Structure 1
Amino acid sequence: MAIPVETFFLNQNSQGTLQSRIQQMVAEGILSGRFRRGEKLPSTRQLAKNLGVSRITVTLAYTELQANDYLSSKGRSGYFVSENAPEPPDFGPLSTTEDKVDWDSALSRRYTIDRPIGMARPADWSRYRYPFIYGQTDSKLFDHANWRLCAMQALGAKDFASLTQDQFDLDDPELVTFIARHSLPRRGIIAGPDEILITLGAQNALWLSSQLLASDGRKVAIEDPCYPELRSLLTQSGAQVTPVAVDEKGLPPENIPDGTKVIFTTPSHQCPTSSTLPRDRRDALLKRAAELDAIVVEDDYEFEMSFLAPPSPALKSLDEDGRVVYVGSFSKSLFPGLRLGYLVGSAEFIREARALRASVLRHPPGHIQRTAAYFLSLGHYDALVRRIGLALTERRKVMEAAIAEHGLEIAGKGAHGGSSLWMQAPPECDTRKFAANLREQGVLIEPGGAFFAGPNRPQNFYRLGYSSIPTERIEDGIKRIGDALAQKKKQG
C-alpha cells in the first residue's frame, strides 16, 4: 500500500535543515505507527513537489533514513518502510482516565509563578517584526562557526573523559581555570578553584544561594522592583522577604531593616531599572552588611555589556570579610540556552553549594563546559562581546532618539550600557493589557508589574530590550508604541 503524498507536510515551527526536518517527519510517522512496515513512500519527485523543496534534498533524507534502517529501497520500485524499522508497541485500546486526585492536598508545595497577562513572551517571538524583549540572542551577531568548531574539538578523543564520565561533584578544570584567571580578575576578584562552582546559569546559582542562606525563616532583603524569579525562589525557601525600594542610584543601604541576614542585590545593572550602584553606596552596603553580620549575594549580570563606560568594581572585589557571594553568568553574553554560570564565595560556602548541587544534578554537562572553555580560551568570547557591544551601542542611540521623538518616557537606562531600557507609561496605563494589544501589531514589550512586590504593584512600567531587534526596525517599532499610547490617551 502506498502512503499518500498529501499526508506529508513540514512543521513550520521545527528546527534544523530541510533535510533533517524531512528525516524527522518520516521517522515520526514510522515511530507513531502511522506508516507501517512494507508501505511505499512517495517518490522523491512527488514529495519534493508536495513540500516545495528540491528533489536532491528529499533524496538525501531518504538515503539517510535507509542507512538507519528506517527505509529500504527496491531498485526502481522506490522506497518502502523497512521490515526492520522500529515498530511502536501495541498497548491495546487506550483507556480514558479521569484525574480524581485532589492536587491541592497532594502537593506539599507549589512552585508555579503567577505571571501577569502579557508577561510571558511567545515561543515564536522571533517571528514578530518588533521584538523589544530582553535576554534573547541576535543570531546574526553570534559566532556560529567558531562555536561549532569548539564543540567539535570538545567531542575529540582527547576530551573523551570530560564528555562521557560522571564527574560526580567536580567541574571542568579548564573552564574553572579560565574563570579564575580571566573573568574574575576583570572584576577585581581573586579566587581559587575551591572558591568557584559552575552552575546551570545564574538562576541555578541563585537557587543554591537561597537554599543555603535563606531558609528556615531567615530575614532577607531584596530590591524592589527585582527579578521576579528571585522573589519566588526565596518564598519557596521559607525566607522572610523584605522588599527595599530602589531609587535612581539603586539599593539604599540605610533602608535595609535590622535583623536582615541575607541581602540580594544587582549593583552593576539593577534589575530591571538598569541603575548602577555608585562606589560610595557600595562601600556603605558592605558596611551595613557588616553591622548586620549579613551575607550579600551579588548578581553581576550584564557587566560585559558596559559599552558606554567601564563597569564599576564588583562588590565582591571590595569585600574584605568574605561575606559577598558572587553570581556570574555566560548565558546573557553568549546565549541564554547555554545555561552556564558560576558561583564565587568562601571555600566553606562553595563546598556546601557543591554538595547541594551534586544531590540534585551532579554537575552541568561536561561537553558544554569543555566547549565553553575552548570558546573562551581561544579568544572567541572576547571578540563576540566586542561585536555585541558595538551593535548595542548603535541600537541604543537609535532607541533613545526614537523614544525622544515619539514622546515616550525612560524611567531608567543605566550609566554603563546594558541591553534594555526601563520605561514608564502614564499612571492610568495598564501595560499588561497594553502589551497584549501591541502584540497584535507585531510589537513585543515586557510589562513591568511582575518585578514589583506586594498586592498594589504599579502596572504602568515596562521594559524594552534591544538585543534581539534589528537596528533598522527600532524606529518604526517605537513609533507604534508611541502612537498606541497617544491613541489610548485620547480615548481616556
Structure 2
Amino acid sequence: MALSEDLFFLDPAFEGSLQSQIRQIVASAILSRRFLPGERLPSSRKLAKHLGISRITVTLSYQELVADGYLATRSRSGYFVADDAPTSTFDGTTADRTDKVDWSTALQRRYTGAPMVAKSFNWQSYPYPFIYGQADPQLFSHSNWRLCAHQALGKKEFDSLTSDYAEEDDAQLIDFIARHTLTRRGIQANRDQILLTVGAQNALWMVGQLLLGKGRKAAFENPGYPGVRDILRHTDCALAPVDIDENGMIPDLVPLDTDVVFTTPSHHAPTAATMPMARRHALLELASAQDMIVVEDDYEFEMSFLNAPSPALKSLDTEGRVIYVGSFSKSLFPGLRLGYLVGSEPLIRQARALRTTVLRHPPGHMQRTTANFLALGHYDALIRRMKDAYFERRQVMAKALEEHELTVAGSASFGGSSFWMRAPDHVDTIDLARSLKAEGVLIEPGAPFFEGPDGPRNHYRLAYSSIDSRMIPKGISIISKTIRNF
C-alpha cells in the first residue's frame, strides 16, 4: 500500500529544522503503527512539492530514517517502512488526553445491557453449528447472485449504484414485492403502502418510534424475539408481556388497554409455533373492539414445508389495523439487511420521512441486485432448495432427538428452521452452551427470549439451517451426553 503525501503536514511551531521535523513525523507514525511495515512512502519529489520545500531536504530525512532502521529502500521502487522497523509499546494515553467528560451524566439514553442472543461470527469453524439465521453456503447460489450484482453495477443500470434515491425506493424491487411476494401472502398493496427498510429490525424500530411513547402500552410475546423487547423499552411506553402456548400468542391475555400488539404468527420466535386461523381472527376482533394496532412480523413464512402456510394476518385485516413486516435477510442471507414495511399510506408516509432523517435509504445497488435476483427466478429456486434441505434435516434431527430422549418444548407443525428445546430444570443452558462450545457444538441459550431476570434458564434453541444433515446425529449425541453429565 502506498502512503499518500496528504498524511504529512508541517507544524510552524516546531522547534528544529525541516529535515528533523520530517524525520520525526515518519518515526512517530511508525512507532504508533499508523505507518505499517511494507507500506511505501511518497516519493521525495511528491512530498517536497506537497510540503513546499526542497527535494534534497526530504531525501536527506529519508536517508537518516534508513540508517536508523525505520525505512528500507528497494531498487527503483522508493522508500518503504522496514519490515523490522522499531515499534513502541506506548498505549496512546497521556495526562493531556484523559477523557474528562462525565459520560454517566452526558449520556441521556443507554442502549447496552439488554439480554440478546449471542452470535458466533466464526460459526463455520465449528463442526456442529445448531445456530439460527445464518446462510448455508451449500444452498445459496453464489454464481447467480454475482451475476445479478454485476448486472446492477453495469452501465445500463448505473443509476442504481450512484443515485441518491432520497425518499424513494428501487421501483423494480417494490414492484416485485407488491406483485409477487405480498400476493402470495394474500396481501394487496400499492407502492405508496410499501417501504424498504434495513432489515426487519429497522422496520420494527420505525413502527415503535411512530406509534409508541409515554402513556402508550405495547403487548409482546413472552418468550419472544429479544429485539422487539429492546426496541419497546426505548420508546418509554408501558410493557405488557403476553404468555404464549403451543399455538403462539394468546389473545385473551392481551390487556384491553393495549395500544399496539407485536406478534409473529407464522413462526413464533423462538418456539416456531404457528397461530391457528381461529386465534388469528380472535386477535383481529380484539384489535377492532379495543382500537388496537397489530404489528405482524411474518418471518420464515417461506419455510412452511410441512403444511401450506396460513394466510397472513394482514390479508385478513379489513380495517387497516395490521402493519406487516417482511425481510429478505433470513431467506437470502443476514448480511443483506433488506426488509420491507407494509401499512396504510399515512403510516408509510411518516415512516419514509423518518427513514430519510436517519439513513435516507438502503443502498441502491443492493436493492437492484436483490430485484434482479428475484425477477430472474433465482429466489424461488433458492427457496425450493432450502425447503428440501430443511425437510431432510428436520427429519434427521427429530429422529436423533427422540433416540437421545431430549425434550422438545416447541416444534413447528408447518416447518421453520429450528426446534425449541427444554433441558432438565437444574441445567442453566448458558453454562450448557459454554461446555458444548468446547466440544465443537453451538446452541442458543433460551434465557434472552424471556422477559425479566426471573424467566426459566433451561430452554435452548437448536436450528438446522446451517448444519449438514450428516453431522446432526453426532451433534445431538454430544448434547445429550453433556446434559447427562451436568
TM-score of the pair, normalised by structure 1: 0.81
Which residue does the alignment assign to 2:314? 316
Which residue does the alignment assign to 2:27? none
CA contact (8 A) 2:37 2:80 kept: no
Which residue does the alignment assign to 1:49? none
The correspondence for 2:139, drawn from 138, 141, 151, is 141
1:108 equivalent to 2:112? Answer no
Deviation at 1:81, TM superposition (A): 5.7
Which residue does the alignment assign to 1:293? 291
Which residue does the alignment assign to 2:173? 175
Deviation at 1:31, TM superposition (A): 6.8
Deviation at 1:113, TM superposition (A): 3.5
Q: Secondary structure at the match of 2:454?
A: coil
Q: What is the one-letter code of the residue matched to 2:115?
A: R
Deviation at 1:485, TM superposition (A): 1.0
Residues 57-78 of structure 1, C-alpha deviations (whole Å, 9 max, x = no match): xxxxxxxxxxxxxxxx98xx69
Which residue does the alignment assign to 1:422? 420
Q: Secondary structure at the match of 1:358?
A: helix
Q: C-alpha distance in 2, partners of 1:241/1:364?
A: 30
Q: What is the one-letter code of the residue matched to 1:329?
A: S
Which residue does the alignment assign to 2:437? 439
Deviation at 1:158, TM superposition (A): 1.7
Q: C-alpha distance in 2, partners of 1:463/1:78?
A: 60
Residues 420-459 of structure 1, C-alpha deviations (whole Å, 9 max, x = no match): 1100011111111111111111111100011011231100
1:213 equivalent to 2:211? Answer yes
The correspondence for 1:34, drawn from 34, 37, 51, is 37
Q: What is the one-letter code of the residue matched to 1:450?
A: P
Q: What is the one-letter code of the residue matched to 2:38?
A: F
Q: C-alpha distance in 1, partners of 2:221/2:309?
A: 20
Q: C-alpha distance in 2, partners of 1:95/1:430?
A: 41
Deviation at 1:126, TM superposition (A): 1.2
CA contact (8 A) 1:218 1:261 kept: yes
How has the CA–CA distance of structure 1 residues 206 and 36 changed in structure 2, closer, same or farther, with 3 Å as cutoff? closer
Residues 369-415 of structure 1, C-alpha deviations (whole Å, 9 max, x = no match): 00000000000000000001111111001100000011101011111
Q: C-alpha distance in 2, partners of 1:121/1:436?
A: 13
Q: Structure 2 matches for 1:124-273, cutoff 5 A?
A: 124-273=122-271
Deviation at 1:122, TM superposition (A): 2.4
The percentage of aligned residue pairs carrying the same residue is 56
CA contact (8 A) 1:113 1:232 kept: no
Deviation at 1:80, TM superposition (A): 6.2
Q: What is the one-letter code of the residue matched to 1:407?
A: E
CA contact (8 A) 1:30 1:36 kept: no
How has the CA–CA distance of structure 1 residues 234 and 114 changed in structure 2, closer, same or farther, with 3 Å as cutoff? closer
Q: Secondary structure at the match of 1:432?
A: helix
Residues 150-182 of structure 1, C-alpha deviations (whole Å, 9 max, x = no match): 000001112111211111110000000000000
CA contact (8 A) 2:294 2:323 kept: yes
Q: Secondary structure at the match of 1:237?
A: coil
Q: C-alpha distance in 2, partners of 1:36/1:401?
A: 57
Q: C-alpha distance in 1, partners of 2:91/2:181?
A: 58
Deviation at 1:82, TM superposition (A): 7.2
Unaligned runs of 5+ in 1: 1-28, 40-72, 84-91
How has the CA–CA distance of structure 1 residues 251 and 36 changed in structure 2, closer, same or farther, with 3 Å as cutoff? closer
Q: What is the one-letter code of the residue matched to 1:198?
A: L
Q: C-alpha distance in 2, partners of 1:367/1:217?
A: 41
Deviation at 1:108, TM superposition (A): 0.1
1:390 equivalent to 2:388? Answer yes
CA contact (8 A) 2:38 2:80 kept: no
Which residue does the alignment assign to 1:351? 349
Which residue does the alignment assign to 2:449? 451
Which residue does the alignment assign to 2:378? 380
How has the CA–CA distance of structure 1 residues 436 and 155 changed in structure 2, closer, same or farther, with 3 Å as cutoff? same
How has the CA–CA distance of structure 1 residues 131 and 259 changed in structure 2, closer, same or farther, with 3 Å as cutoff? same
Deviation at 1:34, TM superposition (A): 2.6
CA contact (8 A) 1:35 1:81 kept: no
CA contact (8 A) 2:187 2:315 kept: yes
Q: C-alpha distance in 1, partners of 2:252/2:372?
A: 44
TM-score of the pair, normalised by structure 2: 0.82
Comparing 289-298 with 214-223, greater Cα deviation is found at 214-223
Q: What is the one-letter code of the residue matched to 2:108?
A: S
Which residue does the alignment assign to 1:302? 300
Q: C-alpha distance in 2, partners of 1:30/1:430?
A: 44
Q: Secondary structure at the match of 1:411?
A: strand
CA contact (8 A) 1:265 1:298 kept: yes
Q: C-alpha distance in 1, partners of 2:41/2:288?
A: 75
Unaligned runs of 5+ in 2: 1-31, 43-72, 82-89
Q: C-alpha distance in 2, partners of 1:36/1:362?
A: 37
Deviation at 1:95, TM superposition (A): 5.0
Deviation at 1:228, TM superposition (A): 0.6
Q: What is the one-letter code of the residue matched to 2:326?
A: G
Q: C-alpha distance in 2, partners of 1:153/1:194?
A: 27
Q: C-alpha distance in 1, partners of 2:129/2:256?
A: 43
Which residue does the alignment assign to 2:275? 277
Q: C-alpha distance in 1, partners of 2:262/2:91?
A: 54
Q: What is the one-letter code of the residue matched to 2:232?
A: L
Matched length:
416
Comparing 296-305 with 158-167, greater Cα deviation is found at 158-167
Deviation at 1:33, TM superposition (A): 3.5
Q: What is the one-letter code of the residue matched to 1:32?
A: F
Q: Which structure has the larger Rg over C-alpha atoms?
A: 2
Deviation at 1:260, TM superposition (A): 0.4
CA contact (8 A) 2:218 2:260 kept: yes
